[in-house]
Structure 1
């Protein structure tokens, strides 16, 4: 089951339109979409390690542009989206992002590229707090770029050996992932 899914994902990752979809996902994730671009960047870099650096640059550029949309949402429409932030469970993360901005400003955005807090929360908070737009773009490019180039670099470094190793262990990886998701759901339901 997992072997065929893995091969299908790699086939989709080699699709000629896959970079467009990666750019669209990266853009959307920085402003409003919940799925991180890593879910596409990783298999695409794995399917074509020579293109890993180009894919990381594409992901970074689209993410920064999407971050500007998130900044605009925070700057112009925070009051309108506040109920959604609360409803979707982002309000606490938004408050944390605001606190980080109050303490560290530029550095908060830079670190946000690697943070477990969704990046869109930082882009919206940066706009809501009217962060310097040039500083925001620079910090976004460095933070997000650092993350995506690190991911792409590790995949490119592993290359074909990594792809074969994953394929050999894909069943174990798949069942471990299913178990982790089940545990996470159980913990969420127990701690609610």
Structure 2
């Protein structure tokens, strides 16, 4: 069953839309708080469609993510208990609680141990919202938190922009050719990571 190919073609068309940059910023913002789709699914096609503007697209995506990360942090700090039923309804509660357990363990070491973990976590295909809410709930100091979000997400978006910029048309042809296996592999990986977080949370 072909799923990711048609989605890729549709996203490429959207990436060429005059308001694509605005949609990318909004997607990056909401993904850091609640939305399940990572901004890379729009960022990569936008970089492919306009390679010379790739670093600009990465920058505005990072800016949207950073604002969303701050909103997610403060919502986690002040509103998590009230919003627990919402997260349970959309299947995110276990993941966030698992994130809380991990962040608490890192906090017991030092705030900068949390920084290192969040930087590494920002490069994994785990929804950013798990870390933004967990950090706010646990009370990670704001300076290490902001720095880790900027470095963790920044290295992802700029690396993607660089790969597409260097690869040019070949990058687009390769992505188009292997979009189905790559898409399904990423899906399996994300599901596996979420399952691991849930098991870890129950075992804690």
- Which of the two has higher C-alpha Rg? 1
The within-5 A match list for 1:107-186 is 107-167=116-176, 169=177, 173-174=179-180, 176=181
Q: Following TM superposition, by how much is the alpha carbon of 1:24 offset from its aligned partner in structure 2, in angstroms?
A: 0.4
Q: Which runs of 4+ in 1 moved over 6 A?
A: 1-5, 177-184
- The correspondence for 2:40, drawn from 35, 38, 41, is 38
SS of residue in 2 equivalent to 1:152: helix
Gaps of 5+ in 2: 107-113, 190-204
SS of residue in 2 equivalent to 1:9: helix
Q: Give the paired residue count.
A: 181
1:55 aligns with 2:57: yes
Change (3 A) 1:48 1:113: same
Summarize deviations over 1:22-75 as a string: whole Å, max 9, x none.
000000000111111011001000101111111111111110110001001101
Change (3 A) 1:154 1:70: same
TM-score, structure 1 as length reference: 0.82
Q: Following TM superposition, by how much is the alpha carbon of 1:6 offset from its aligned partner in structure 2, in angstroms?
A: 5.1
SS of residue in 1 equivalent to 2:18: coil
